[in-house]
Each structure stands twice: as C-alpha cells, then as structure tokens.
Chain A
Amino acid sequence: MDVWISIIISICAASTPLLIAATGELVVERSGVLNLGVEGMMVMGAVAAFSVAQLTGNPYLGAIAAIFVGALFSMLFAFLTLTLVANQVATGLALTILGLGLSGMIGEGFVGQPGIRMENIHIPVLTDLPVVGKLIFGQDLIFYISIALVFGVGWFLFKTHAGLMLRSVGDSHSSAHALGIKVIQIRYLAILFGGACAGLAGAHLSLVYVPQWVEGMTAGRGWIALALVVFASWRPGRVLIGAYLFGAVTIGQFHVQAIGVAIPAQFLTSLPYLATIVVLVLIARNRRLTMINTPASLGQPFVPDR
C-alpha cells in the first residue's frame, strides 16, 4: 500500500507543473488569446525562483518571484498581440525562444549549485495518519495551490460575472465589445494571469521537482500544458484529469521498465499527444460541445472599431 501511495505522490509531482501552467493557459484561451509562449514563461519562472531562493535562502520568496517574472514576461506578449495586434502564433513562439535564451543567461551563475527544496508541509497528527497522511497532508505547498487553482478557476469562469465577461470576450470579441465590455483590458488581465501561472509552474520544477537550475529544464512541459488545454476542451476539471493522466504515463513508463515489461517507451510517450488529437476531432465533430466550450475568437486579433 505504501508503495502505491509513494507512486501516487511521484505522479502528483510530475503533474503539478503541467496542471498549473495549463490552468493558466486555459484562462488565456477562454479570453480568446492563444499564447504559445508557455514554455518560455515557465522557464523564466524556473530560473527566477531558483536564483531568488538561492540569494535569499527562502524558497517561498523564490516562488513569489517566479509568479512575478512570469507575469511580467507575459506582458511582452500582451503588448505585442493586443496593442500592436501582432500575430499571436509567431509572438508566442518568439516568447518561448527568448525565454529559453534569457533564462540561460540569467542562470549561468547558478548552474551546479544544490538548491533549497521547498519542504513538504507537516501537520502534526494529520500528516502522520496511516496510508493517506502523506498524500493528503504532507506534500509541498505548490501542490495544494495547483488543486485550489483548478477549482478556483472553474468557479470563476462559470459562477461569477467577471468569468462570464471573460468567456464572452473569448466567444465573440466583437459582440462583447458592442455590449461595452473592455475586450483588450480583459485580455491583458487574462494573459497576466496565464503568465503568473506559468511562472509558478516553473518554480515547482526548480524548487520542488529537482531543486537545481538546469538550462532548458522545462524540457517541453510548456508545450504539453498547451496540449492539455485542448485535450480538456477548455474545461478546468478535465485539465486536472489530463494533467494527472500525463503525469501517470511519465512515471509509469519507468515502473513498466523496472518490472520488466517490454513496451516501446516511445509509444507510451506519444500516447497523450495522440489522445489529444482524437479528443480534438471528437469535440470538433460534436457541434454542441464545440459551441459550448471552444472560445470562438481563439487566436484572432481584435481591433476595436472606432
């Protein structure tokens, strides 16, 4: 039993950064903006978190710095795509390229330093409960934030007026604009939130997952987060499922190996991507589902008529 709990905790660790980044991107896409720069913002978050934690000795300050840096970095994207109406696809890509390079430069002095791990929380009695104690009451703070984030975003999007406005901007910016909703302003805020989330996801990598700074340590996780949003057909609950499925495959492939089952690892690794494509097709075929969930203005630039 303990073994399974331990495996599940490993899966939580592998899923948490994906979950946070994907939840952030979900909000961005719900507002009708496609930001392909998640990987870049995430890696900037990772380096910011690690360097601040090293300099101050406090991993929590590191995580806050990561949120800040991720948000700041996303503003570059927002300015170009919203104010200058630049192409979103290309700008997002530029953000990723720049982030990977810039983080490498910033982190140069921190390579090879053993980092300070953000410790798991410990609540007397509860954490020491048999079986579930460590799983439910003994993980790192960012894990709890990630779970709260999913539910918070779900509540925000579907139960609040502000969430309704955000979705209406994503569904039809022109109609929203006609109703007097400030399209650009809402999108700026959504992108800001997405950047903050990506930054925090990066902090998890360099403060919890592997407490060290390694250049390009996001290793494609930002892109996976993007895929998860679509896989989840823009529903927060499904992002949670998708992220954990992906985490399970990531961890599971090594267990399968250690047990001695011979399935090509490449097949397991490509499963989530193939699944995403299938889901994309299914939701696109089902018109009702599509109309409910897909932000219709996704990726289209908005220029207010004056």
Chain B
Amino acid sequence: MRIELQKRPVASSTFAYVSPLLALVLTLVAGVLMFIFLGKSPITGLYTYFLEPLTDPWSREQILVKATPLTLIAVGLAVCFRSGNWNIGAEGQYLIGGMFGAMLPVLFSEWQSPLMLPLMLIMGMLGGALYGFIPAILKARFGTNEILTSLMLVYVAQQLVDWVVRGPWRDPKGFGFPGSKSFSESATLPKLIEFGDAHYGAIIAVIVAIVVWFVLSKTLKGFEVTVLGQSPRAGRFAGFSAKKMTIFAFVVSGALAGLAGIGEVSGSVGKLDDKLSLGYGFSAIIVAFLGRLNPLGIIAAGLVLALSYIGGEAAQITMGVSDRATRVFQGLLLFFVLACDTLIHYRIRFISVVKVAT
C-alpha cells in the first residue's frame, strides 16, 4: 500500500477542528466493533461508557477529579511540545512536585497556618520545576536527548518517593505500611462542595489553562514558543534563543506537573504514599495531543479522557466489561487522533523540520 501525501502550504484550519472529532467518531466505531466482539450490546456499552457518567452529579464530579491532574500536566506539556521540546518525564515531575509539597505537612505537622496550603502549592511547583530543569539544562548545555533523560528521571523519581514513604517519612503508627502521616486540615486542599471529592485543583487547572492559552496565543512569548518550535533557524533569525526556550518550556511544564502532583497529594489522597504514580504524566500526553496542544482544547480533552476512565469503571460494574477495554479505547483514541492529524498535515512545522535536518 502506498499513500502519498500532498503538502498543504498552510495548515488547514478546518481540519484542525474536524480531525479530533473525526478521531472520536472512529474510536466510537471501533468501540461498537469491540463490544460486538465481546458479545455485549454496543448501544448499552457506548451509553455506559460515554453518556451515563454525564447523567449523574456524582459521576460528573468524579470526572472532574480525574480530569484535574490530566489537564494541568497536559497544559504544561503543550508549551513543551509546541516549542519542540519532548518532555516525556512529566510523571517524574508530578511525583517530585507531590513530594516537595508534602515536605511541609510531613516535617512540620504541628504547624497550623493559613499559609501552609499556598506554601505547599509553591513548593510543589518548585519541586516539579527543578526536576524538569534537569533534562532541560542537560539538553541546553550538552545536547543530551531530552526524551530519554526525562524518561529515565521518572524511574528515579518513583524510587525516590518510594524510599521516602517507606523510610524517613513513614508514619510510625502506620503498621509498617508505606505512607506518611495523614495531613491536617490546614494542609488539605479544600473540596469544591462539602463532603464532595472534587477539590480546588479543578479551578486552578482551568485558570492555569486560560492563562497559558493567553500567553501562547496573544503574547510575544507565545509567538517565540511557536516560532522556535516550528523552525529553530527562523527563531534564531528573529533573535530567539532555542536553549533558553528549552529551559523555559521544561520549567513551566515541570512546575505545572508538580502543581498537579501536590494537588493530588493534598486534595485527593491527604498524605504522601507509594501509590501516587498512576501514570497521569503519560496519559497527559494523550490529552495534550487530543487537545491539539491548545490549552483550551486540552480542558475538553482532559474531560473526555477522564470520562473514559469513569465510564470504564461503570462498564465494569454494570456490564462486566473489564478495565482492559478502557485501555484499548484510550490507545485507539490516541491512534486515531494521530492518524487524523495527517489531514491537517503538511503544516508548516513538518516542512521546516525536514529542512532543518538537511
């Protein structure tokens, strides 16, 4: 089979909107086939997956809970990816952010102050940013491949957090189970509604997404990100530094991943434990692409992916469809998104990347 692609002189703005929708439709079609293959009713299946969770306030709230870290991380990744920096290690930055943020309530558990929470969030961002800074400086100084260093650092972060919660920070009253002491009230991100599950991280995520969207699309910095991402050479002519951009993009992305980390630790878990790494940093890559690297699109994409998680659980409970189906769905969705992107393609970015390589 041979498929030849015609370059578009300019990216198709129509397809920029149509392609994610087309990908969703294709995923739904694949979903129908999968349910038939599994011997389940496709209508019930799709309804349970994608609609039923939307009909009930509790499920809607759970979607919000799940979408919060995904969106925060993906918005940061969008800055990175747009600028041509491949940060695959958001999971590590998320973990270190959670760990840095947890430092205050774990080490100063007696300290009750309204300052606690803001300081924790700042510490979380700082931790993530520092951890993101490592692959960035290695790339800027030595030209080290950032995909691989950032990925390696994920494992180091996992081990570091694992060691901390089993060793120095372990709750002495925890029966030997890994995990820190539970945080006090003043170190807990408040819930949106009393006795609910969604916390203020959701609002922070939306604000962050809007701010980043504004910066990317309306400011000179945003222009710099895009130019350097599409053509480092053109960026140089414009007087922009690709190295400084690498550091900027990784620090921003790391800080947001770190914020997501401490948001989960403080808002959802209430302590630092060894179960923090749930793969949000990797799933957020799907979210970033599904949202077309546009922070506003990412809010929607984060909700869609969260919906598939919640719907997947519902399907497991009411239909006996295993959670593997959810992962197949997510994998297919990303495949279709990427494939459909070709319709927009031969946008400027790809042409210039090839030119750079020559």
Residues of chain A whose beta carbon lies under 8 Å from any beta carbon of chain B:
34, 36, 76, 80, 83-87, 89-91, 93-95, 97-102, 104-105, 108, 172-175, 215, 220, 223, 226-227, 230, 264, 266-267, 269-270, 273-274, 276-277, 280-281, 284-285, 290, 294, 296-303, 305
Complex Cα distance, B358 from A303, in Å, reads: 12
Which of A83, A102, A174, A281 is the one whose CB lies under 8 Å from B354? A174
Chain A residues near B86 (CB-CB < 8 A) = 89, 299
With a 10 A CB-CB cut-off, give which of A97, A105, A230 has the most chain B CB atoms: A97
Q: Does B215 contact A (CB under 8 A)?
A: no
Chain B residues near A91 (CB-CB < 8 A) = 335, 338
With a 10 A CB-CB cut-off, give which of B7, B152, B332 has the most chain A CB atoms: B152
Task: Find the B residue at minimum CB distance from A93.
Answer: B285
Which of B143, B329, B354 is the one whose CB lies under 8 Å from A303? B354
Query: Are A104 and B324 closer than 8 Å at their CB atoms?
Result: yes
Task: Find the A residue at minimum CB distance from B34.
Answer: A105
Q: Does B12 contact A (CB under 8 A)?
A: no
Which of B155, B167, B345, B357 is the one whose CB lies under 8 Å from A85? B345
Query: Are B155 and A270 closer than 8 Å at their CB atoms?
Result: yes
Which of A267, A280, A296, A300 is the one whose CB lies under 8 Å from B159? A267
Complex Cα distance, B160 from A201, in Å, reads: 29
- Jot down 27 A-B pairs with beta carbons below 8 A, ordered by A: A80-B335, A84-B5, A85-B350, A86-B342, A87-B289, A90-B285, A90-B286, A91-B335, A93-B88, A93-B282, A93-B285, A94-B331, A95-B331, A98-B332, A104-B324, A108-B324, A174-B357, A215-B324, A227-B151, A266-B160, A270-B159, A280-B138, A281-B142, A284-B144, A300-B354, A303-B350, A303-B354
For residue B354, give the distance in angstroms from its CB to the closest CB of chain A: 6
Query: Are A97 and B342 closer than 8 Å at their CB atoms?
Result: no
Query: Are B353 and A301 closer than 8 Å at their CB atoms?
Result: yes
Q: Does B327 contact A (CB under 8 A)?
A: yes
Query: Are B148 and A226 closer than 8 Å at their CB atoms?
Result: yes
Chain B residues near A285 (CB-CB < 8 A) = 142
Complex Cα distance, B144 from A285, in Å, reads: 8
Query: Are A301 and B350 closer than 8 Å at their CB atoms?
Result: yes
Interface residues on B, range: 35 or more
Query: Are B341 and A93 closer than 8 Å at their CB atoms?
Result: no
Query: Are A223 and B151 closer than 8 Å at their CB atoms?
Result: yes
Query: Are B153 and A104 closer than 8 Å at their CB atoms?
Result: no
Complex Cα distance, B334 from A296, in Å, reads: 27
Chain A residues near B338 (CB-CB < 8 A) = 80, 84, 86-87, 90-91, 94
Interface majority SS (helix, strand, loop, mixed), chain B:
helix
Q: Does B326 contact A (CB under 8 A)?
A: yes
Query: Are B151 and A302 closer than 8 Å at their CB atoms?
Result: no
For residue A86, give the distance in angstroms from its CB to the closest CB of chain B: 4
Q: Does B44 contact A (CB under 8 A)?
A: no
* Among all A-B residue pairs, the 3 with the closest Cβ atoms: A98-B331, A101-B327, A104-B324
Task: Find the A residue at minimum CB distance from B156.
Answer: A270
For residue A174, give the distance in angstroms from its CB to the closest CB of chain B: 4
Complex Cα distance, B334 from A83, in Å, reads: 17
Residues of chain B whose beta carbon lies under 8 Å from any beta carbon of chain A:
1, 3, 5, 7, 86, 88, 138, 142-145, 147-149, 151-153, 155-156, 159-160, 162-163, 166-167, 282, 285-286, 289, 322, 324-332, 334-335, 338-339, 341-342, 345-346, 350-351, 353-354, 357-358
Complex Cα distance, B147 from A284, in Å, reads: 14
Chain B residues near A227 (CB-CB < 8 A) = 148, 151-152
For residue B129, give the distance in angstroms from its CB to the closest CB of chain A: 18
Give 17 new A-B contacts, CB below 8 A, not counting A94-B334, A303-B350.
Answer: A34-B147, A80-B339, A85-B342, A93-B282, A100-B327, A102-B328, A102-B331, A104-B327, A108-B324, A215-B324, A266-B166, A277-B149, A284-B143, A290-B143, A296-B357, A301-B353, A303-B5
Chain B residues near A89 (CB-CB < 8 A) = 86, 88, 147, 285
Beyond A227-B151, A273-B152, A303-B350, is A97–B159 a contact (Cβ under 8 Å)? no
For residue A181, give the distance in angstroms from its CB to the closest CB of chain B: 15
Task: Find the B residue at minimum CB distance from A175.
Answer: B358
Chain B residues near A290 (CB-CB < 8 A) = 143
Chain A residues near B162 (CB-CB < 8 A) = 266
Query: Are B3 and A300 closer than 8 Å at their CB atoms?
Result: no
Complex Cα distance, B334 from A285, in Å, reads: 36
Complex Cα distance, B282 from A139, in Å, reads: 37
Chain A residues near B147 (CB-CB < 8 A) = 34, 89, 299
Query: Are A97 and B334 closer than 8 Å at their CB atoms?
Result: yes
Chain A residues near B351 (CB-CB < 8 A) = 303
Chain B residues near A273 (CB-CB < 8 A) = 152-153, 155-156
